[in-house]
Structure 1
Amino acid sequence: MKNILVIGFSTRNIVCSGKRAGYNMFAIDAFCDHDMLECAKATIKLHTGESFDARNIEPCSLTEQIESFGTEFDAIIPASGFETMEFPGSLPVLRNDHDSMEQVSDKSRFAKLLRSLDLPHPQTYALSELESITYPVMIKPACAGGGIFNRVLYSQNDLQPYLESLDKLHISLKKEDMIVQDYLIGTPASVSVISTEDEARTVAINEQLIGTPWLTKVPFAYCGNVTPFITPYADQMKNIAEELIKELGLIGSNGVDFLMTRDGPVIIEVNARFQGSLDTVEMSTGSNIFEAHMQAFEGNIRLKEPSKRQYAARAILYGNRDKEITSNIQRKILERYIADVPKTGDMMHIDEPLTSVLSTGRSRGEVISEAKSSVMFIRECLEVDTSRRGSPRTESTYV
């Protein structure tokens, strides 16, 4: 296989990993970031409206986009938001089968599986049970949303204001699209796994940055990773993740999200696809996750002994105002070690991802310090550019 088409809302990390592995990468992507364009042979911008919902895309429109490349693809890889979509034609689609995806995405079914395996998982409730449960609880979309719409309910009275806030954002989520779980305190983490039908092997254990105040004002937004995550529960997490991936029959690059509580690791969810931690895993270990994914679909796990053993961070910076990216802003941003680089003319919006800051070093403290320095630099560049253009907006920054 040589020509690979990746389809998803955000594909940059997959496309660039594939290029580094020697593949000809093509993408249909909602952002078409500057660095993704440099890695891809060709791209087409994905238009889904404000909802970022793949269900809004007509199959015939997607077929036309695929055919417009004029390339004979060897395979399609679905990325974020397209994990369960049916693709036209007879091309191989390198993803998990429909039944496995259903078992992962159906939160009620997933919770029952974990109970049958005696694996720790937050108690999950239906919205009809809110009168009889103990608060606080976490409410969130049943399908992934990067944590942006996750909130804590401290009483039943908090439900209606939460639903109204979604309506104001034009988010088309119904009550049946939401789940409620016990609200647990701990450190978010994940285990990155490569698996075949017969074997599952951990590549890395990662800390997750969630709702990090110097990156976002959104309480539970996904803000990146630090790899490795050092914990006395590492072996337990590794064993749980590998057992669960094999039980689910998942193939390729998959991840298990945990919350490290004072009582030990609790499973939050399974990401049956490439994960946002791909960057830090590759920077920390020297492995190429795209190549490992491709080999796994051939029935092989060919992970070399890590060529690097260092800390790596990816810190996703969110916008604190609506902002057009000027050539000056892009030029200044590119002075730092970053990814997901917006193009000149792109409009970035408040509380949406702006760019990703990357860093490597000998300790967690070192990579976090370097990431914070880059974030401060980018924030200052945005403020200077705004003042020169005479913008009337006066919101303060938050770093």
Structure 2
Amino acid sequence: MKILEDLALEYVNEVDYIICNSDVDVSRFPRNKIIGNVDTDFINNKYKLFKLLHKNFLLPDTYKLTDIEEAGEIVANFPDKQFIVKPVYGSGGMGITWYNENLSIDGDFILQEFINGDSVSSSFLSYPNHDIEMITTSDQIIGSKRLGGADFKYCGNVTPYIKPSDKIVNISAKISMMCKLVGSNGVDFILNNNNVYVIEVNPRIQGTFELVERSFKMNLAEAHINSCNDVHVDIPSVQQFSVKLIPYCLNKGYYDLSNIPFVHDISKQDYMFKKGEPLATIITSDRILENAMSRSEQVQKLVYNSKK
């Protein structure tokens, strides 16, 4: 990411706006150029976010710790619950794993109750008064073994989620107000029966960016800029389903992805992928969900079969 930041800094005086995504060090860029949320440490820090939201919304039990033995004492007090361990900062599910007493962790970490259910994310525009215009909800693909996504790695999305919830809209609106959000934002949820758990807040362009644009035939970057500038955005009706898959390398080696359709984020052919690294991004769309899913799965097979 630092390499991309360095490249971006070369053009910083030639652009009107800077739109930051996840893992970007916002402090490296001029504040007057950034359009969107800037002071987001209280959101990106998973424990600070828990402290901010847990009295108003349903969240998993969350603890900030430095000692794995202390984590074991907490886990022992809740024999009917499962727990996961997270870094205090992070995105994409990286570094998240199941708790076990043999884990070796340096520094602070998060011990969090595991909630089983559907993983979904909202996507909305926030205006300067922090009111929102809801765009959609997407199904999240997390830890897919078929895609090589061990544990809780982010493996893609399906947009839109076919079972929309008024609770998600209401909670997203309240969180936008509490966190004083502007621009394109999202919230990650777990839907467990009738319970809606808040997992994370994404104060930036999300991983569903391309899917929202394809499904709604809209320019989300333009919508982000307009909403930040308090220019009302009309959300188009959904036109089609979009599917994003991120296949991870199952066995280290070289892959020739150059002639496979619907594949993006392609590395050079002389790059040797290590096991567990993302190979590429697959994006498909269709008015019928089953067709979009089937096509993405066919492309996934081509990606894995392209190993030299």
Give TM-score scaled by structure 2 length: 0.89
Task: Give secondary structure in 2 for the equivalent of 1:113.
Answer: helix
Residue from 147, 156, 180 that aligns with 1:224: 156
Task: Give secondary structure in 2 for the equivalent of 1:132.
Answer: helix
The structure whose residues are more often helix, as a share, is: 1
1:69: Cα distance to partner?
4.4
Paired residue for 1:396? Answer: none
Q: Deviations over 1:4-39 (max 9, x none)?
A: xxxxx3xxxxxxxxxxxxxxxxxxxx6xxxxxxxxx
Task: Give secondary structure in 2 for the equivalent of 1:80.
Answer: coil
Identity, % of aligned pairs?
25
- Aligned CA distance change for structure 1 residues 159 and 253 (closer, same or farther; 3 Å): farther
1:209 maps onto 2:141 in alignment: yes
Paired residue for 2:93? Answer: 147
1:271 maps onto 2:198 in alignment: no
Q: Is the 8 A contact 1:74 1:91 kept in 2?
A: no
Paired residue for 1:339? Answer: 264
CA distance in 2, matches of 1:312, 1:367: 7
Higher relative contact order, structure no. (Cα contacts within 8 Å, ≥ 6 residues apart): 2
What is the aligned residue count?
299
Paired residue for 1:93? Answer: 34
Q: Is the 8 A contact 2:138 2:160 kept in 1?
A: yes
Residue from 120, 145, 154 that aligns with 2:58: 120
Task: Give secondary structure in 1 for the equivalent of 2:175.
Answer: helix
Q: Is the 8 A contact 2:122 2:137 kept in 1?
A: yes
- Aligned CA distance change for structure 1 residues 67 and 218 (closer, same or farther; 3 Å): closer
1:235: Cα distance to partner?
1.3
* 1:231-242 to 2 correspondences below 5 Å: 231=163, 234-242=165-173
1:70: Cα distance to partner?
8.8
Q: Is the 8 A contact 2:26 2:38 kept in 1?
A: no
CA distance in 2, matches of 1:67, 1:209: 33
Paired residue for 1:368? Answer: 293
1:67: Cα distance to partner?
6.0
Q: Is the 8 A contact 2:31 2:38 kept in 1?
A: no
Paired residue for 2:244? Answer: 314
5+ long unaligned stretches in structure 2: none
Letter aligned with residue 151 of structure 1: T
Q: Is the 8 A contact 1:187 1:259 kept in 2?
A: yes
Task: Give secondary structure in 1 for the equivalent of 2:124.
Answer: strand
Residue from 65, 80, 87 that aligns with 2:22: 80
Residue from 247, 254, 275 that aligns with 1:350: 275
Task: Give secondary structure in 1 for the equivalent of 2:275.
Answer: coil
Q: Deviations over 1:232-267 (max 9, x none)?
A: x51111111122112210111111000111232211
Letter aligned with residue 109 of structure 1: K
Q: Is the 8 A contact 2:128 2:229 kept in 1?
A: no
1:90: Cα distance to partner?
6.5
- Aligned CA distance change for structure 1 residues 68 and 243 (closer, same or farther; 3 Å): closer
Letter aligned with residue 126 of structure 2: S
Task: Give secondary structure in 2 for the equivalent of 1:317.
Answer: coil
Letter aligned with residue 152 of structure 1: W
1:174: Cα distance to partner?
2.8
Q: Deviations over 1:284-327 (max 9, x none)?
A: 11121111111122112313423x421110011111122234xx
Task: Give secondary structure in 2 for the equivalent of 1:224.
Answer: strand
Task: Give secondary structure in 2 for the equivalent of 1:372.
Answer: helix
CA distance in 2, matches of 1:220, 1:67: 33
Paired residue for 1:102? Answer: 41
CA distance in 1, matches of 2:9, 2:94: 34
- Aligned CA distance change for structure 1 residues 67 and 206 (closer, same or farther; 3 Å): closer
Task: Give secondary structure in 2 for the equivalent of 1:330.
Answer: coil
1:190: Cα distance to partner?
0.3
5+ long unaligned stretches in structure 1: 1-8, 10-29, 31-44, 47-53, 55-61, 164-172, 387-399
CA distance in 2, matches of 1:132, 1:103: 25
Q: Is the 8 A contact 1:111 1:121 kept in 2?
A: yes
- Aligned CA distance change for structure 1 residues 378 and 66 (closer, same or farther; 3 Å): closer
The structure with the largest alpha-carbon Rg is 1
